[in-house]
Chains A and B, each alone.
Chain A
Amino acid sequence: TQLLEQSPQFLSIQEGENLTVYCNSSSVFSSLQWYRQEPGEGPVLLVTVVTGGEVKKLKRLTFQFGDARKDSSLHITAAQPGDTGLYLCAYDRGSTLGRLYFGRGTQLTVWP
């Protein structure tokens, strides 16, 4: 069962455009993590959102955690080719022993 649904699955845009990708669930989470993965590499953590309604910014990337802590979004302003990659959201099921579970991801391609 896929607890995290990510949309869209694929997104292809031109350099300079803005975009938003979504991570939704019917479950409540204590936190959500966002990763970016480039081809042939492991995912790299971008941010962890913890508080309902929280907004975190990482340069041109803005992450928001829903008020009810069931969903999250990632907004990229003025996308660049270097933003190309697979964006994954994930939740950590454990406390002492963490277990990270992922959504299927959004494959973003930014064309120059």
Chain B
Amino acid sequence: SQTIHQWPATLVQPVGSPLSLECTVEGTSNPNLYWYRQAAGRGLQLLFYSVGIGQISSEVPQNLSASRPQDRQFILSSKKLLLSDSGFYLCAWSRAALGSYTFGSGTRLTVV
């Protein structure tokens, strides 16, 4: 069966520090991968998506970047965090054309 892992679960970082969040998927190959951000108690905003290694598309301009160094690994990064980067970050995967999305358990990022 397929599983998706995100870590860390919570993170407190000072303004101006770098960020690296990692997401890995097991039990499938060539998944579509996604990063979402969620403001407190609200809907999810799509940040990045990827159809393959090294292929990244950005939905909104921001202080963040994403990379996909391996087929089942998706990384969200920042060189210098801003207060506005605080939020709940969710990774998801889907199988092309099936319309089924599975989400990780998220990372709660607080920038102080």
B92 at the interface (CB under 8 A from A): yes
Nearest A residue to B101 by beta-carbon distance? A100
Q: Interface range on chain A: under 10, 10 to 19, 20 to 34, or 35 or more?
A: 20 to 34
B74 at the interface (CB under 8 A from A): no
B100 at the interface (CB under 8 A from A): yes
Q: Is the interface of B mostly helix, strand, loop or mixed?
A: strand
Collect the chain B residues with CB atoms within 8 Å of residue A97's CB: 32, 49, 51, 96
B104 at the interface (CB under 8 A from A): yes
- Assembled-state Cα–Cα distance A86/B106 (Å): 15
Collect the chain B residues with CB atoms within 8 Å of residue A105's CB: 41-43
User: How many inter-chain residue pairs (CB < 8 Å) link A and B?
Assistant: 61
- Assembled-state Cα–Cα distance A89/B45 (Å): 13
B111 at the interface (CB under 8 A from A): no
A27 at the interface (CB under 8 A from B): no
- Assembled-state Cα–Cα distance A97/B108 (Å): 27
A42 in contact with B43 given A96-B97, A98-B32 (CB within 8 Å): no
A sample of 25 cross-chain residue pairs with beta-carbon separation below 8 angstroms, ordered by A number, consists of A40-B105, A40-B106, A40-B108, A41-B106, A42-B103, A42-B104, A42-B105, A43-B44, A43-B103, A45-B100, A45-B102, A88-B43, A88-B44, A92-B99, A97-B49, A98-B32, A98-B94, A98-B96, A98-B101, A99-B59, A102-B44, A102-B45, A103-B43, A104-B42, A104-B43
Give the interface of A toward B (CB within 8 A).
6, 31, 33, 40-45, 48, 86, 88, 92, 95-105, 107
